[in-house]
Structure 1
Amino acid sequence: MRYSRNKLAKYRVLKKSSELASALPSTYSMTKSHFQKLISRYGKVIVKPFSGSGGIGVMSVVSQGGQSYKLHHGTSKKRITGLSETYAYIKRITKGASYIVQKKIRLAKVNGRPFDARVMVQRKRGSSEWVLTGQLAKIAGAGYIITNTARSKGKVVPLSDAIRRSDVQGRSVSEIEHRVESIGLKAARQLHNYYRIRTVGLDVGIDNKGRVWIIEANFHPAKSLFLKLKNRSMYRRIVRYQK
């Protein structure tokens, strides 16, 4: 069976693994019933395109209690009254394109700005061994919910630095990094069962309690992010594995 490479299809493949299921935020196609289900259950959701990258089209919806909802898109914020009205407004913005709705993770923050991790997992040509070849943190720019550095004018720092400077409580830097590596390797192996791939770029969220979440997987991740780190050793390693 041939599997699609859109975000929902890859989520469903990852969800098949009992070892990864607890690290995956609930994700569905964006329909009115799915939107209502997740916003009622969690109070906060992320809506984003089925395909694409770079944080384009991503928006946050937060229940304010009663029938009031706050929608955050780019740097703009809007309050809407009524669930049906909120859904209708999102459909107008998305112009009929296919979107998904996902439980919003309360990402850890550095100086009040959310961050997530880009984790590169690769295997050399002819090898069956998956290796974590790089990891870094993407810190959102002021006023943005997305961590894509180009769109939000955010910045890239070593993952350990971001965790150390963040509001994460309850787990050490080494514990979190070990969990990130473990989840990254398991995710790559699971995806490889369904797709012909040698590289997986995972966007991994870390919440303020130190819990690690798989936000999405990309099979053609940009390695240029790693050039923004002062230490270029991870970039060089990623390039070696891609050959």
Structure 2
Amino acid sequence: MAYHLDKWTKHKIMIESSELASALPATRVLGYQSFSTLLDQYNKVIVKPSGACGGLGVIQVSSKGDRQYEVHYGKSKKTITGLQSTYNFVRSQSKRTLKIVQQKIPLAQVNGKPFDVRVMVQRTTWSNWTITGKLAKIAGSGYIITNTARSKGKVVPISTAIRNSNISGISEEKIQQEIDRIALIAVRQLHSSYRWIRMVGLDIGLDSKGNVWIIEANFEPSKALFLHLKDKSIYRQIMFYAKKRRQ
């Protein structure tokens, strides 16, 4: 059976794993009812194209009370009165594209800027999946997305981001262990449907309590991100296994 490569399909595959359910934000196909329900439940949602990548088309909607909703896209913000009008505006952005709406994860921050973690998971042998690299992506000033090219953000070692973040009540070691555990479960779950994959770039979110959230999975992740780290051995390791699997 062939599976689509969009975010919605990947989410449906991952949510089948009971071990991943608590690490996946509530997600629905965008419609007025799903938009209304999730916004009412969480007060803040993210809307994004199911098939796009690199932070393209991501919109954040926040309920401000008294029928006022703040819409944040790129570096722009606007306030719209009325739920229907807000939905119509969100829907009007690339209206022909399938979109998903999901619970907004309150990402941990470094100096007031949200960050997430890129985890590279590769097949190092025929049956073995291994985490070959991790880094943190910090959003540029004024942006909600962490894609460094789009938000003019920066890449730092994951340990640096955690140490300088607003995460409290949990050790860096435990956070890293949980990231690794969730990443490997997620990739094996995806591999059960996408048997051909050899490399997955997972975007993992952390909240201020150190909880681990799966933002999305990319089967053609940028390896060049790791060139921005001072330690180039991580990039070399990723490329070693990437080339090995093509042989």
Normalising by the residue count of structure 1, what TM-score does the alignment of the two structures yield? 0.98
Letter of the aligned partner of 1:225 in structure 2? L
Match of 1:63 in 2: 63
- Aligned residue runs from structure 1 range 96-175, under 5 A: 96-124=96-124, 126-175=125-174
Q: Which sections of structure 1, spanning at least 5 residues, go unmatched?
A: none
Matched, 1:236 2:205: no
- Aligned counterparts of 1:22 and 1:240: Cα–Cα separation in 2: 33
What SS is found at the alignment partner of 1:94?
Answer: coil
- The alpha-carbon deviation at position 187 of structure 1 amounts to 0.7
Which residue does 2:10 correspond to in 1? 10
Residue number in structure 2 paired with 1:92: 92
Q: CA deviation at 1:240?
A: 1.0
**Code of the aligned partner of 1:206:** L
What amino acid maps onto 1:133 in structure 2?
T
For 1:82, the equivalent position in structure 2 comes to 82
The 3-state SS of whatever aligns with 1:87 is helix
Q: Describe how 1:206-217 pairs up with structure 2 within 5 A.
A: 206-217=206-217
Instruction: Percent identity, please.
Output: 56
Task: Provide the secondary structure at the position in 1 that maps to 2:79.
Answer: strand
Aligned length: 242
- Moved runs in structure 1, 4+ residues, more than 4 A? none
Q: Residue 176 of structure 1 corresponds to which residue in structure 2?
A: 175
Distance 1:94 1:72 in 2: 16
The CA deviation at 1:36 is 0.6
AA aligned opposite 2:136: A
How far apart in 1 are the matches of 2:205 and 2:126? 29
The offset of 1:53, in angstroms, is: 1.0
Bigger shift: residues 157-166 or 90-99 = 90-99
Worse-matched range after superposition: 39-48 or 88-97: 88-97
CA distance in 2 between counterparts of 1:241 and 1:22 reads 31
Q: CA RMSD in A?
A: 0.8
Q: Which digits, 9 at most, give the CA deviation of each residue in 1:158-191, with x for residues without a partner?
A: 0111000000011111110110001111111111
**Corresponding letter in the other structure for 1:101:** V
Deviations 1:179-212 (A, max 9, x none): 0001111111111100021111000000011000
Cα distance, 1:94 vs. partner?
2.5
Q: Which amino acid in 1 is paired with 2:46? A: I
Q: Where does residue 41 of structure 1 map in the other structure?
A: 41
* Deviation readout 1:202-240 (Å, 9 max, x if unpaired): 000000110000000000001000000000111111111
Letter in 2 for 1:68: Q
Deviation at residue 56 of structure 1 after TM alignment: 0.7
In structure 1, the partner of 2:28 is 28
TM-aligned CA deviation for residue 88 of structure 1: 0.4
Q: Distance in 2 between matches of 1:241 and 1:117?
A: 20
TM-score by length of 2: 0.96
Equivalent position amino acid for 1:230 in 2: K
| Offset from partner CA, 1:48-96 (integer Å, 9 cap, x none) | 0111211110010000012110000000000001110000011112233
Corresponding residue number in structure 2 for 1:220? 220
**Helix, strand or coil at the partner of 1:177:** helix
Q: CA deviation at 1:129?
A: 0.6
CA distance in 2, matches of 1:20, 1:66: 36
State how far apart, in whole Å, the 1-side matches of 2:7 and 2:214 are.
Answer: 12
